[in-house]
């Protein structure tokens, strides 16, 4: 049990990559706090965790609200006495619209969730982790944090920001025994991708653009998250692990 006695908080943990990570952590013995905008824990995840060696609890969180984030941390510590790992997986993609026509309202929402929300989660978590002099944060960025992404100027900007924030915070908090890394998925079969575009030809083109000629699976991205969170990665910080089926190589 690689994560036995570890306490993990996962924002956006009710679906997609966050859900897959929650299950993998639980299967490795962790106690997992799923924080999500939904009203309750995903029933499929709840059942799957019940068959594992881990535990799961749920807290409703809107990452654009600082009070929700503070409550998330406080509830976790109240329940389990501490927390060791934060996975920032909450995020939004937004509509696919060219730069000159992109709605400001959508741009602002993406920045509020993907950038400010993630920053606030790190900020509140780090106050506690500094006191512990240990801890681990894994931010979910994107291959779009290293490339351009046609029709998604706000999303690409937000994920470049996540990569930059990860590097900056990693430098600042290394002396406190805290590691901060990012995972940068390519196109992954998640509700976010499926709900963002119903154009079958476009989705097929995304698969074709990936050298492996398929979408990633949430559990494949989750495996990268667990690697960075594990003790075996104890000398790794400030890195962006790209899991994209070779997309960035072209």
- Report phi then psi at 33, rounded to 5: -100, 110
pTM of the model: 0.96
Q: Which domains does the chain have, with CATH numbers?
A: 7-243 (3.40.50.720)
**Which tens digit of pLDDT belongs to each residue from 52-107?**
999 999 999 999 999 999 999 999 999 999 999 999 999 999 999 999 999 999 99
The continuous run of DSSP H or E covering 177 comes out as: none
What is the arithmetic mean of pLDDT over 173-192? Answer: 95
CA 109 to chain centre: 17
What percent of the chain is helix, strand and coil (3-state, nearest 5)? 50, 15, 30
* pLDDT given for residue 141 in this prediction: 99
**Residue 198 above 70 pLDDT?**
no
Strands 7-11, 240-243: pairing is: unpaired
The average pLDDT across 212-239 equals 98
What is residue 179's three-state secondary structure? strand
Higher per-residue confidence, 121 vs 189: 121
**pLDDT per residue over 22-49, tens digit each?**
999 999 999 999 999 999 999 999 999 9
Whether the Cβ atoms of residue 14 and residue 42 lie closer than 8 Å to each other: yes
Active-site amino acid positions: 155
Cβ atoms < 10 Å from Cβ of 94: 22
CA angle (2, 74, 27) in 5-degree steps: 20
Q: What is the mean pLDDT of residues 234-249?
A: 97
């Amino acid at each position: 049990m690689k994560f036995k006695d570890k306490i993990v908080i996962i924002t956006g943990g009710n679906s997609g990559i966050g859900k897959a990570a929650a299950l993998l952590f639980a299967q490795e013995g962790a106690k997992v706090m799923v924080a999500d905008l939904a009203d309750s824990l995903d029933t499929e995840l709840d059942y799957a965790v019940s068959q594992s060696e881990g535990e799961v609890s749920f807290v409703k969180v809107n990452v654009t609200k600082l009070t929700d984030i503070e409550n998330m941390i406080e509830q976790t510590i109240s329940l389990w006495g501490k927390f060791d790992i934060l996975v920032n997986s909450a995020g939004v993609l937004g509509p696919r619209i060219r730069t000159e026509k992109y709605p400001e309202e959508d741009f602002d929402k993406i920045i509020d969730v993907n950038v400010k929300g993630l920053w606030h989660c790190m900020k509140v978590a780090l106050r506690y982790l500094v006191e512990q002099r240990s801890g681990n944060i894994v931010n979910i960025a994107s291959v779009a944090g290293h490339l351009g992404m046609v029709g998604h100027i706000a999303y690409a900007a937000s994920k470049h920001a996540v990569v930059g924030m990860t590097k900056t915070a990693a430098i600042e908090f290394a002396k406190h025994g805290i590691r901060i890394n990012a995972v940068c998925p390519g196109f992954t079969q998640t509700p976010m991708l499926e709900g963002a575009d119903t154009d079958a030809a476009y989705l097929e083109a995304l698969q074709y653009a990936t050298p492996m000629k398929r979408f990633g699976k949430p559990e494949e991205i989750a495996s990268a998250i667990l690697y960075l969170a594990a003790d075996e990665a104890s000398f790794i910080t400030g890195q962006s692990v790209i899991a994209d089926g070779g997309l960035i190589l072209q």
